[in-house]
Amino acid sequence: MCRPYLDIRPQLFSFVGLLAVVAIVDAYRRGAHARLLALLPPTMALWSNLHASFIYGLGTLVLLAGGELLKAARRLPDAPMPLSRAFGLAAAVVVAGFACLLNHEGTRAFTFPFEILRAEGEWRTGIVEWLPPVLFRSAPFNPASFGPFFVAQAVLAVAVLLAAARRFDLSDSAHVAMTGVMAFSARRFVPLFALVAVPFAAKNLAILRDRFLVRRAALSGARGATAVVALCLALLAAVIPRWIAEARQTYADGLFEGMVREWVFPRGAVEFLERNPLPGRLFHVYAWGGYLLYRLPDRPVFIDPRAHTVYPGEFFHEARKVESGEPEWSDVLDRHEVALVVWPSAGFAGELYGRLLAQLAASPSWQRVYDDNHSAVFAHLQRGRAWIDAYRAFRLAYPDNAGAQLFLANAYLDANEFERARVQMREVLRRFPGAAASIRRTEERLLGGAGSSGSPDAWFGVGFSREVRGDGARAVEAYRTALERGLSGPAADYARDALPRLEPAPGG
C-alpha cells in the first residue's frame, strides 16, 4: 500500500516523522524513562520545517496523549498508565506543539494544511492522489490491497471488542480510526493508514491468540521464535524472485531513474529541447513539471506539482482546461503566449491526454516538430516561428532513439525528400531492429486505406515501406499500382526511378 508513494518527494518526510513520534510515545507507554519524551519537541520542530504533514503528527500526539489521560483518569482499557505519567506525556506534547512554531512560515504553517483541505474546487478534484480511494481496484495511487487490508482491520477490531473488550486499546483505536477517515478522504493518506494499522493489527492478533489458543506456550520462547522466522523466510522466498526481476527492470537505467519512474516522463522530448535551445514558452502535462524543472533548469515551466504552494487556483484551472482539451484550450495558450507544447504522443497518451493531442494534430496553428511515440513537441506557427523554420529546413537535432529517428524520416517524406527518407529509414532499421514493427504497422494501415479508397498516395506509401524493408518485388507491385491510379508530382518521379532499381534483371 505504501509502494506507489515511495518516490523522491517531500511527502516521504511524513512517513519518517510519523514513525518517529509513534515510536517515542509507544516506548513511553511501555514504561520507558520520561527523559525519552525530550525527543518529541526537536522531532516535531524538524518535521515542521520539512513537510506540512507535521500537523498530522501533532494531531497524532494530541490524540494519543488525550487517550492516555482519559484512560488514566477513568481506568479504561488497555493497561492505563499512572495519571502522573499521562500528565508528563501531555506536557511533552504541549512543548512539542510550541516547538513546531520554529519554522520559516510561523503560524501560517498550522493553517496551510487546512487551506488545502478546503480547496475542493481548486486542487483536490484535479490531482489524482487527492481523490478518494476506490476499494478493491488498482489505479494510479490507488493500491488494490487497501480494500482487503481495511476490511481485515475492521474485522480484527470488532473481534477483539466482542471477545476481549477490556483489552481493546482506546488510544490506538482512535489513532487508527482518525487515519482511516483521512485515507478514505484522499488516497495520498493510504500509506499513513498502513503504517499505523500494522502494529494495531499485530496487537489485536495477539489478544485473540491469548483469548482462544489454549497452548500459548507453543508460540512463545525459542521454539515459537524459530517457527515465526521459518514462516517469514518461506514467505520471503516466495516473493523475492519476483521482486528481484521487477527491481532489475525498474532500475536498469539507474537508481534515480528507477526511483522517479523516469519512463513516465518525456525523456526524449526533453533531450530534443536540450539539443535545440530555441526560444518559446512551454506548456506541458501538469505532472511533468517537476521533471522539466530538473532536466531543463534554464527553460521556465508552465506549472509544476508544487501546486497551491506556488500557483493560484485559477491558474491551475486554466491549465486543467488545456489538459482536458476543453473548447477554451487554444484561448488559454494564446493568452499565455505559449509557443511549444510538450505532450504525450499516440503511443502513450491514452484517453486522459488523447483529446488535446488530437486537437493539436488537427489544428492549422500548430506543427508537430518532434515525436518518439512516447512524447511529442508541437510548435505554434507564429509564436514558435524559429522552431517551424528550423523544422522545415531540417536544422533541428534529434535524439538518438528509434522513435525520434523515425519521425525525422517521416519529416523527409512529408517534404517529398524521398531519397533522404529512404536512407534514413534503412539506417534506423539497421541500428534499431525493433523499429521494423512500427514500419510494418504503418504499411498495414496504408494498405487498408489503399484497398478501400484506391488512393494512389496510399499505394505509394505501401510501396515505399516495402522498399525500405527490402521487399523489392512487392514494392514494384505497389509502385506500379500507384502510377496506374494517377500518382503525380515528386512521388511519381521517385516511383518511376525506383522501378528499374527494384525490378529483377532479365533472366534473373
Q: How far is CA 173 from CA 26, 28, 177, in A?
A: 14, 18, 6
pLDDT of residue 507: 53
Helices (H) and strands (E) in the chain, counts: 22, 4
Domain boundaries, the chain: 3-212, 265-394, 400-508
Supply the pLDDT for residue 79: 80
The candidate with the shortest Cα–Cα distance to 401, out of 209, 268, 297, 250, is 268
Lowest-pLDDT range, 28-32, 47-51, 68-72, 243-247?
243-247
DSSP state of 397: -
Beta bridge partner(s), residue 343? 376
Dihedral sign of CA atoms 218, 223, 228, 234 in order: negative
Q: What percent of the chain has pLDDT over 90?
A: 71
Angle at Cα 203 formed by Cα 92 and Cα 212, nearest 5°? 150
Residue 54: which of 100, 117, 121, 20 has the closest Cα? Answer: 100
200-252: pLDDT as tens digits: 999 999 999 888 876 655 566 788 889 889 999 999 999 999 889 988 888 88
- Which of 46-60, 307-321, 327-341 is predicted least confidently? 307-321
User: Which of 418, 367, 422 minimizes the C-alpha distance to 396?
Assistant: 367
Report pLDDT digits (tens) over 271-305.
999 999 999 999 999 999 999 999 999 999 999 98
| Residue 506 reports pLDDT greater than 60 | no
Q: How far apart are CA 104 and CA 220, in angstroms?
A: 50
C-beta of residue 498 within 8 angstroms of C-beta of residue 422: no
Mean pLDDT of 156-175: 92
Q: How far apart are CA 331 and CA 283, in angstroms?
A: 13
Rounded to whole angstroms, how far apart are CA atoms 20 and 43? 8
CATH for the stretch 265-394: 3.40.50
> Which residue blocks in 279-341 are alpha helix, DSSP H?
289-295, 313-323, 329-335
| Contacting residues for 122 by C-beta, under 8 A, at least 6 apart | 308, 313, 316, 317
The whole-number pLDDT of residue 33 equals: 95
What is the CATH number that goes with domain 400-508? 1.25.40
Three-state secondary structure of 403-433: HHHHHHHHHHHHCCCHHHHHHHHHHHHHHCC
**Distance from C-alpha of 91 to C-alpha of 374, rounded to nearest angstrom:** 56
Distance CA 293, CA 303 (A): 10
Domain 265-394 and domain 400-508, same fold? Reply is: no
Type of residue found at 83? L
pLDDT of residue 118: 66
Q: Give the chain's end-to-end CA distance (angstroms, integer).
A: 67
pLDDT score, position 225: 85
Q: Helix 40-50 to helix 12-29 angle, to the nearest 10 degrees? A: 170
For residue 121, what pLDDT is reported? 52
Q: Max CA-CA distance within the chain?
A: 108
The three cell numbers of residue 347 are 503511443
Q: Nine-digit cell at 287?
A: 505532472
Distances (CA, A) of 454 to 119, 324, 467: 56, 37, 20
Q: What percent of the chain has pLDDT over 70?
A: 95
User: Which residue is associated with the grid cell 513539471?
Assistant: 289
pLDDT in tens, 451-460: 888 899 999 9
Bridge partners for 282 per DSSP: 340
Record the cell numbers describing residue 139, joined without a space.
Answer: 489505479
- Taking the whole predicted model, whether its pTM rises above 0.75 is answered as yes
